[in-house]
A and B are shown apart, each in its own frame.
Chain A
Amino acid sequence: MNRKQIFLSISLLVIASMVLTACGAATATPPPPPPATEAPAATSVPPTAVPPTPTNEPVTLNIWHNWGPDDTKGAPLQSVFKDFMAANPDITIKDTVLVDADIPLKVETASTSKQEPDLVFSVLFDGVLNWADNGVAPAVNDYIKDWGLDGKFTDLALANFTQDDGKIRAFPLEGFTWPIWYNMKLFNEAGLPIPTTTDELIADAKIFREKGLGGPVIASGADGMGGALFNLIVQSQMTDAETIQAFGKGDWTIPNAIKGVELFVKLRDAGVFVDGVEGVDYASGNTRFFEGKVPMSHFGSWSYTDPAGVDLAPDVKLGGFPIASDSPWKSPVYYSGYFAKGVFVTPNGQAKLDAVKRFIQYLYQPDVMARFVPAGMTPPLKEVSIDKSTLPPLVGAALDLPNSGTPITTLDAIIPPEVGTDVGRIQQEAFAPGASAEKILADLTAAYAAAK
């Protein structure tokens, strides 16, 4: 064959492959958006394609989650599975433990070949926000109503999982608090009370630096966890509506949004953060705080029972982040919400609806839900009785947070997924010295504009 023939053959093969691909792929115009409603209203769940399995036939429920043996919620979850199966001998639970961050992609990939699990325990963020719309995990509105769970969830838990069009994405499961941790031993040694205003924090930072401790606040400026502290500080200057306008819609011209970013820069330049904070990752920040080297950090309720923090726990006080004098909030702010985990029902789960119903009804009993509270989880139900005296120290201390701080909502369901990684990079850059408020705001504006 000469070169010409070889080139012609390869070209024909390439064209053939493209034609085959185009012919085989389904292209369609996207479905019309659901009609807008003035107030969130319950939407109907689309009818299942396969009838539910009769109760007297053995059924296996496949559940994917990340609460493995190393997680403090792992043991309570296994006890729930065990007791449920004992009470329902016709149902076998087959659970698979996965890395939390991997669950969304794995579920989406499995669903393309209809091999997704029946139930998924997942964080509500990024692509998971679209599951109710793209069919990976249909809405659960009717299930809540029909399975006797209506009115059982706290308002915030349901609100966190409800879309603008009224679809409830999943059964809320894990509530969390995400306060500031104050190492009272270091504060007492410095003769300082917990700061409640940013002016006090700046003054405290000066004192801690003079004592050789460096900046008092450690944050993982190198990854997403530090971004949460950036958000908290910026949000401390904004109302909830302004937060949605800025972080949700990308309007960074709001005066309080500008003030929020300027406040962050002011605190950074005043030396409030540890030196080199822009290079600190979550693990090393964790270690430094639990070794008692840093006065303040920002951890969530998933760390309340962290074995690394057991020795330090008696010296820790939980509270909010100090607020500026012109903040719309009345006391230091901390995050609280229910995005940490929801139970999603997939189309495969809908095919085993009776078994899923029985499991959900079992799981969402107050005394069953109470098993997770000592692990630091805030239950999503209104009526869960908690005996504080039996709780680990920090889990019990978290129950008093509303007395000293104001809970505000995290941005998991507010920042659009298509701009999430850009915002993360901008937050990372914000921790580095020299990044001006103007640049940060310009970058945020550009990121949201490019995502549209």
Chain B
Amino acid sequence: MASLEKTIPGSGKTLSNEAYHRRNAWRRRATLLLLASPALAWFLAFMLWPLGNMFYISTTKWGSINGVKQFIFLNNFSRMLHDPKIAIALQNTGTQIVAEILIIIPCAFMLGFFLSLRMRGYRILRTIYFSPAMISVAALAMIFLGMYRPDGMINTLLNSVGLSSLAFPWLGNKSTALAALTAIDVWGGIGFNSVLFFAALSNLPEELYEAAMLDGAGYWTIMWRIAFPLMLDFVAVVTTLQFLYVLSGAAQNVILLTGGGPGTATFTIGYYLYDQAFLSGRLGYSQAIGVLIFFTGIVVILLIRRLSSRFSY
């Protein structure tokens, strides 16, 4: 019969089985915590502390980094409820998110699938598709500024083929400015994400494709009826990353190219945060916008995960 007591090696102390296992479990946890403490300290310092700081500053009135903070509780959030620019910013950001995800994800998946077939020259194509990610943000902005000018490359081309009616001041026209900025993200996002999809699709067993081909399936059917369903979890990850980029990171092009204008045509929530923090001297309010972005991001990420787990295999 198994003993109901255990002796602790080295000390001679006797514990009940249950107490002995509890003690061992605690020691294991303590050891894990000790080994993980450098990473935890980094996480606390560079992830959680700035996050906590954001929440704290959002409850203050703070004019500049050299100014004095004044605690105003939730006044910034109540201001947000009456701020018409918040609705405009969220609308523009929502439009960008929907447009970019609907265009980038399917196109990137198709390109990634094509690359995963490893046809001749796929390595060179993979490098070409990834190359936009290697261009700095400022350089990219200058390239597209030159293209979008009234006398830039796009309008020159349109004028030369007799389509001058389609030549717009792309960044200066309210109807085209947001689409012009979205096009920059789409141009870079399709290639970059296609390489990610290529990496994930490369792990699928080729036998699946072979079996489908034996049954008479073409590449289009294989791509959407076999590869895509199997990749749904990864599609959710890429969609999440793209969503997070548009929510916050896409403001870089707004800052460099349009300043949120003309009017409020390209005024996004990420740009509004920057505007309030660095241009308008309202650091407290800018962090309240940051809190809004934070919770918006969490809600949508959970939604994406829920949808992907519902529909994936």
Question: A residues near B, CB below 8 A?
Answer: 1, 13-14, 17-18, 20-22, 25-31, 105, 108-109, 111-112, 126-127, 130, 134-136, 221-223, 275-281, 284, 288, 417-421, 424-426, 428-429, 431-432, 435, 443, 446, 450-451
Contact = CB atoms under 8 A, between A and B. Distances in A.
B259 A417 contact: no
Contact of B68 (A30, A111, A281, A435): A30
A51 to B, nearest CB: 23
A280 B150 contact: yes
Contacts of B148: 279
B261 A424 contact: yes
Contacts of B55: 18
Interface in B222-239: none
B261 A130 contact: no
B172 A428 contact: yes
Interface of B: 29, 44, 48-49, 51-53, 55-56, 60, 63-71, 83-85, 145, 148-152, 168-174, 258-265, 267, 275, 278-282
A17 B281 contact: no
A100 to B, nearest CB: 15
Contacts of B69: 25-28
Given A18-B55, A280-B149, A27 B260 contact: no
Contacts of B168: 276, 279
A14 B281 contact: no
A130 B49 contact: no
Contacts of A420: 279-280
A108 B259 contact: no
B175 to A, nearest CB: 10
Contacts of A136: 66
Contacts of B66: 108, 111-112, 134-136
Nearest to B29: A1
Contact of A127 (B64, B261, B264): B64
Given A421-B259, A421-B280, A425-B261, A21 B70 contact: no
Given A418-B282, A425-B262, A279 B52 contact: no
A276 B65 contact: no
A13 B48 contact: yes
Contacts of A419: 280
B10 to A, nearest CB: 27
Contacts of A450: 83-85
A288 to B, nearest CB: 7
A105 B263 contact: no
Best-buried of B52, B53, B145, B173 by chain A (most CB within 10 Å)? B52
Contact of A425 (B84, B150, B263): B263
B44 A432 contact: no
Nearest to B146: A284
Contacts of A417: 279-281
Contacts of A435: 263
Nearest to A109: B65
Contacts of B278: 105
Contacts of A426: 263
Contact of A14 (B48, B83, B279, B280): B48
A-B interface, 5 closest residue pairs, ranked by CB to CB distance from nearest = A279-B169, A279-B172, A276-B150, A278-B172, A429-B263
Contacts of A31: 68
Nearest to B169: A279
Contacts of B60: 27
A438 B175 CA distance: 20
Nearest to B66: A134
A136 B63 CA distance: 13
Nearest to B260: A425
B172 A280 contact: yes
Nearest to A10: B48
A108 B64 contact: yes
A323 to B, nearest CB: 27
A280 B151 CA distance: 9
Contacts of B71: 27
